[in-house]
Amino acid sequence: MRALQSILPFDDFLVKTTQLNDAAAKLFIKAHKATNRNGEAGELLLYLLTEWILGAPQVIAKMTLKTNPQMPVHGADGVHVRYCPDTARLFLYWGESKMYGDVGAAIMSAAKSIAKSLEPDELDHELQLVQRNIDFTGLGTEGKDALLRYLDPHEEEYNERKDVITCLIGFDFDGFQKASAAGDQGAEDAFRALAKEHLKAVAPKVAAALEAAGLESQDVELFFFPLPSVQEFRDLFQTRIGWLP
């Protein structure tokens, strides 16, 4: 879209962005009807953060696969990939998003889901899903062939793949109301201090949950997403894309 913005008149560009927005909304609605899920708000946020913060583009669009009622899609909420030329290693990021009012419940649920996704049968399913849908990645022929080598246990590159879990934890946080009392000038600093204090208290829960799930040695990239109300955020998202009136 950035490329189009530089070459199209503003009105034409606006039409294109509107069409893209409508198409995305229809895709979410179709996926919701096909899967009866309501967690796609978290999945979308995790997708954006994984591409933006970790620099790992999506390798296949799981949302597109969900719209096919004949294709069972479970496991990771998203699959992203990043190649590190310095180490010649391929990093595969398996996404998991959890949005709960209680941050402790979100962490416990995430740890259980992560542990399950790393079971041999589950991981094998995910790898096969990527292999079967390699044509959806947008890669050229050479890129697809290279990626498949990292997924094939008979290839040397298979041992140079690193599996990383990305996890979004959305939760209710009263810091928004407390920070607003500091006024416009001090609200941001107050919120930052409150968030740091809260996450410091949450850290032991994360360590305990990962240890209980047997994930002490597993690489996990955690994104914490505080919200005034998880339920209100979910309702606003679903209303915006047409799930709720």
pLDDT for res 239: 82
In a domain, 176, yes or no: yes
In a domain, 46, yes or no: yes
pLDDT for res 244: 55
In a domain, 63, yes or no: yes
Task: Count structural domains, the chain.
Answer: 1
pTM summary value: 0.75
Provide the residue range defining the domain that includes 59.
Answer: 38-119+160-240
In a domain, 92, yes or no: yes
In a domain, 85, yes or no: yes
pLDDT for res 93: 92
Neighbours of 144 (CB within 10 A): 15
- Report d(CA 157, CA 164) in Å as an integer: 17
pLDDT tens digit string along 201-239?
Answer: 999 999 999 999 999 899 999 999 999 999 999 888 888
Q: Which two tokens stand for residue 168?
A: 């979004």
In a domain, 88, yes or no: yes
In a domain, 181, yes or no: yes
In a domain, 20, yes or no: no
Measure the N-to-C terminal CA separation of the chain; round to a whole number of Å. Answer: 30
Which stretches of the chain score pLDDT less than 70? 1-39, 61-76, 135-139, 242-245
